[in-house]
Structure 1
Amino acid sequence: MDQNKAPLYEAMEKYRNDRIVRFDVPGHKGGRGNKELTEFLGEKCLKADVNSMKPLDNLNHPVSVIKDAQHLAAEAFGAHRCFFIVNGTTAAVQAMIMSAVKAGEKILLPRNVHISAINALILSGAVPVYIDPGIDKRLGIALGMSITDIKREMENHPDAKAILINNPTYYGICSDLKEIVELAHSRNMLVLVDEAHGTHFYFGDNMPVSAMAAGADMASVSMHKTGGSLTQSSLLLCGKNVNHDYVRQIISLTQTTSASYLLLVSLDLARKNLSLHGKDIFNKANELAEYARKEINSLGGYYAFSRELINHENVHGFDTTKLSINTSEIGLAGIEVYDILRDEYGIQVEFGDLCNILAIISAGDRAMETERLISALYEIKRLYARDPKNMFCLNYIKPDVVLTPQKAFFGNKKFMPINKSKGMVSGEFVMAYPPGIPILTPGERITDEIIDYIAYAKEKGSQLMGTQDIKLENILVLNEKTELNLNEHFTGI
């Protein structure tokens, strides 16, 4: 196929030039009905915000230009089939899981998954078999999954239908995808990859292996994160051994029937751009990240980690475009540095946790702005550094799983002060966003460590969410009677 083409974009341009009279939705009628919005976004943008129609195809049943655009994307990413997703990579992750496992069926996955994966378990009723990732205690981060641990759980759960892998993690950590795929396929298991942060793996040089190149069955790819499309636009890639028609039906369970053509066209154009220029784009991004990493490490007190973490066990590769920076040696939590950068220096990084910050380096970054980040970090160390002896560095707590997420989420629950909830089973989520990895999920036992972690994270300024109580002073826990009744029907994890 001709990667110079952008069929959906070209159809949209023709539609705009045809000056069609609008008696359909949306109600702003090309921007005429909302002048302030039109002034904010621009007339061309509002005129491209349209509803599904024959000339522009329909995302839920593509037969023309969307179908062609998806085929071009599949070819560009080395997939057998590609689906455009406009409900974010959350919807792509959920579609993968719900396509692979049904109620009562087991799926292997690391516990440091994005909340979208746990939500898929609540929706589907599938049973999680958690594999603990490795932990780097100095950095306070979860690593990848080791082959030894995966083999053990595959042997302990020979009836598992699928395995989900984070690759890369938010911090840039990669597992041994090729070996995992071989192991899983030898046991007739599907391999699903949450590749939200790995768009560039398909186009850059000397990158970790991509999911499709490793032979995975499905991969969710956040094109908007590093691929240049609009926020909320994503891809679901499928291999040749997947029933694509069934996957399309599963997608339609959660994806909107009113797909945004702004998002769809952005996927079409981002794919074209990456196909034609991706290698140069990501080589430059990588050079910029490596320069920043070297300069930041020379400041002292910070640790911008990289490939030196590779141990071929739970760290098989590293994404060097992820500028992950540990801040614990200057006595500041990552979230504190995150806040100072934004409030005092006008610099917005991707996130800060209790020990690290992450700066995403991609196509739109420039050397001048990278120098601003380096200079700001130097100033923050000089002005704000303190004794690091009381730092709490950990972003992963091994869960005590009592019930499946679905049974706990829909169980009979009651409110309880979180500082008095030790020993109870959580009926809801607690997570910091970003990165959106749950500290606590429905069905897990609440421990002193979790309570202390939540209190410390709140004190440092982390944005905690997931609970009905928006102040996170109370938490929904399962009634003891409900827990007993549910356990009677639970075969164990």
Structure 2
Amino acid sequence: MPAGNMYDAGAPLADALRGYAAKGRASFHTPGHKGRAGLLGELAGLEYDLTELPETGSLYDGGDVIEEAEKLAAPAFGAAETLFSAGGCTLCIQTMLLLGAGAASRVLFLRNAHRSAVHAAALLGLEPVWLWPGPDGRPVTVDIAETLNNDKNIHAVYITSPDYYGRLADVPAIAAVCRQAGVPLLVDNAHGSHLGAFGLHPLALGAAMTADSAHKTLPVLTGGAMLHIGRRPDGAPWAARAEAKAAMALFGSTSPAFPVLASLDLARDWWVRAGREAYRLTAGEAAGLRRAAREAEIGVLDGPRQDPARLTLDTGSAGVDGRVAAEFFRAEGCEPEYADGRYVVFILTPFNTPAELGRLREAVHGLAVALRRGRFFGRRPKAAYAWDGERPERACSPREALLAPCETVPAAEAAGRVAARTVCPCPPGVAAVVPGERVCQETALRLEQAGFDQLVVLR
């Protein structure tokens, strides 16, 4: 921007936030507090935006009120130890991988790992062993067992459960396989902080550690997350508290936001007093919305291995691209969390009002009417990217690829080049290539067909 206009530019980001808030859409996306002050109202004042003081403590040192709050959170969520993070789930994932696997080790990753896990692997110099999911996008337990049996140098298994769509892995079976192999099961539980209300939290099902993005589904300010450390078969924690704090300090800011940390403490208090029951009621509302969608002949993801509180509409099965359907919902005053070529995802929490839930129910009905009238004719979803083809060849480590010079090229010209960034078509939410893998001709073609016009590759 020219220097002469600098004083007349206003505040574009702040203006955008004000403008969005003025739309008045019902929030079916993160954060879990849904924009309602509620129990977080007292944190809105700047008087709580403090630094490390004798009264406030230090996030990484211990022996203070932060440690007291964390020690209250651990039993509330079924952990041996719990660490707070104001740096999001990313900080928890980085810490969890260091504690569970150590630096420069081999780790079995499911292919739907979030890019924060790929970046953490690069920072730690890990050597990922990639496992492709089954046709339903979930990890196949027998494949994990076979890989661990054939590769005794794997130090940990890392999975994501639930995923964006609310699909749950078979954590008890995978945890049993990991126990037999003597390796920890590390779970990216970013979207599942609330699952303890249904007995489905990965820690309760046998995971060694979980990274929980509490702000996604609990009444927590954005950036608030928790690292939960479980117990070994002998009852000892998978990592000692002092060791875990030291590991987190390697990655985290020395200036954590105290309002965010305090919101984690308040959310824990809400959880033990009312949160579990509130979420069971929310799950009932979600079940009613799924029934309404099915009655309107719109597909839904459902079943025992699905987040009970999440509504994932399969609009692709009804003949309309999920992103087009999301536009419809926005026009009806409902903001979804996510949409892709097939699905539209709505995050429901106890902080959605009855009026908002009614608005969403009416919007689902309205979508069905629009479908019957042919409103979306010609806007059918593209075929989903299939990962049943040739597996990418590893050319270098993720660390080498992410730190090397790179360039952007047309997808058609990427064949034979080494990927510098993760490319993850959705659906299915499975990485086609990750940094350090060579892009084959088939993958380049499929990515182009899936709408990826350009890829970032090594020079």
Do they fold alike, i.e. is TM over 0.5? yes
Aligned: 1:348 with 2:330: no
Indicate if the aligned counterparts of 1:222 and 1:233 stay in contact, CA closer than 8 A. Answer: yes
Structure 1 counterpart of 2:417, from 424, 430, 436: 424
Q: 1:435 to 1:49 in 2, by over 3 A?
A: farther
Deviations 1:424-453 (A, max 9, x none): 221223357999875532122324554455
Instruction: Report how far residue 381 of structure 1 moved.
Output: 4.2
Tell me which residue corresponds to 1:94. 94
Q: Quick one: distance in 1 between partners of 2:412 and 2:456?
A: 12
Q: Are 2:334 and 2:360, in contact at CA under 8 Å, matched by a contact in 1?
A: yes
Residue number in structure 1 paired with 2:189:
195
1:111: which partner in 2? 111
| Corresponding letter in the other structure for 2:271 | L
Match of 1:185 in 2: 179
| TM superposition shift of 1:104 | 3.5
Distance 1:437 1:56, change over 3 A: farther
Whether 1:162 and 2:156 are equivalent positions in the alignment is yes
Q: Paired residue for 2:433?
A: 440
Q: Which residue of 2 aligns with 1:16?
A: none
Give the partner amino acid of 1:327: T
Q: In the alignment, is residue 409 of structure 1 matched against residue 406 of structure 2?
A: no
Q: Deviations 1:97-148 (Å, cap 9, x if unpaired)? A: 1222244411112100111111111111111111111123xxxxx2x21221
Partner residue in 1 for 2:7: none
Give identity over the alignment, percent. Answer: 26
Amino acid at match of 2:350: A
* Equivalent residues in 2 for 1:207-218, closer than 5 Å: 207-218=198-209
Deviation at 1:386, TM superposition (A): 2.5
Task: Compute the displacement of 1:159 (Å).
Answer: 1.3
| C-alpha spacing 1:273/1:224, structure 2 compared with 1 (3 Å) | same
The Cα offsets for residues 430-481 of structure 1, whole Å up to 9 and x where unpaired, read as 35799987553212232455445554555xxxxxxxxxxxxx86433235xx
Matched letter for residue 294 of structure 1 = R
Instruction: Encode CA deviations 1:404-439: one digit per residue, 9 max, x unaligned.
Output: 211222345444333311232212233579998755
- Distance in 2 (alpha carbons) for counterparts of 1:322 and 1:93: 23
Letter in 2 for 1:57: G
Measured after TM superposition, the shift of residue 352 of structure 1 is 0.3
Residues 193-225 of structure 1 show CA distances to partners (whole Å, capped at 9, x for unaligned) of 1111111122x2xx2532221232211111111
User: 3-state DSSP class of the match of 1:122?
Assistant: helix
- Counterparts of 1:342-381 in structure 2 under 5 Å? 342=330, 344-381=331-368
CA contact (8 A) 1:92 1:234 kept: yes
Shift in Å at residue 297 of structure 1?
Answer: 1.0
Deviation at 1:365, TM superposition (A): 1.6
Distance (whole Å) between structure 2 residues aligned to residue 74 and residue 457 of structure 1: 43
- Sort the Cα spacing of 1:376 and 1:44 in 2 relative to 1 into closer, same or farther, 3 A: closer
Is 1:290 the counterpart of 2:293? The answer is: no
Is 1:48 equivalent to 2:48 in the alignment?
Answer: yes
Deviation of the 1:81 alpha carbon:
0.7
Q: TM-score, normalised by structure 2?
A: 0.82
Once the two structures are superposed, residues 10-55 of structure 1 have per-residue CA deviations (whole angstroms, 9 ceiling, x without a partner) of: xxxxxxxxxxxxxxxxxxxxxxxxxx9xx99999521111111011
Q: Structure 1 pair 425/77, CA: closer, same or farther in 2 (3 Å)?
A: same
Note closer, same or farther for the CA distance 1:306–1:43 as it changes in structure 2 (3 Å cut): closer
Unmatched 5+ stretches in structure 1: 1-35, 137-141, 311-316, 459-471, 480-493
**Alpha-carbon spacing, 1:368–1:197, altered in 2? closer, same or farther (3 Å):** same
CA RMSD, Structure 1 to Structure 2 (Å): 2.8
* Residue identity in the other structure for 1:284: L
The amino acid across from 2:278 in the alignment is: I
Give 3-state SS (helix, strand or coil) of 1:165's partner. Answer: strand
TM-score, length basis structure 1: 0.77
2:233 paired residue number: none
Q: 1:88 to 1:453 in 2, by over 3 A?
A: farther
Deviation at 1:180, TM superposition (A): 1.9
Structure with more relative contact order (C-alpha pairs < 8 Å, separation 6 or more): 2
Q: 1:258: how far off?
A: 0.5
Residue identity opposite 2:321 in structure 1: A
Q: Aligned letter for 1:319?
A: D
Contact between 1:57 and 1:64, CA under 8 Å: does it hold in 2?
yes
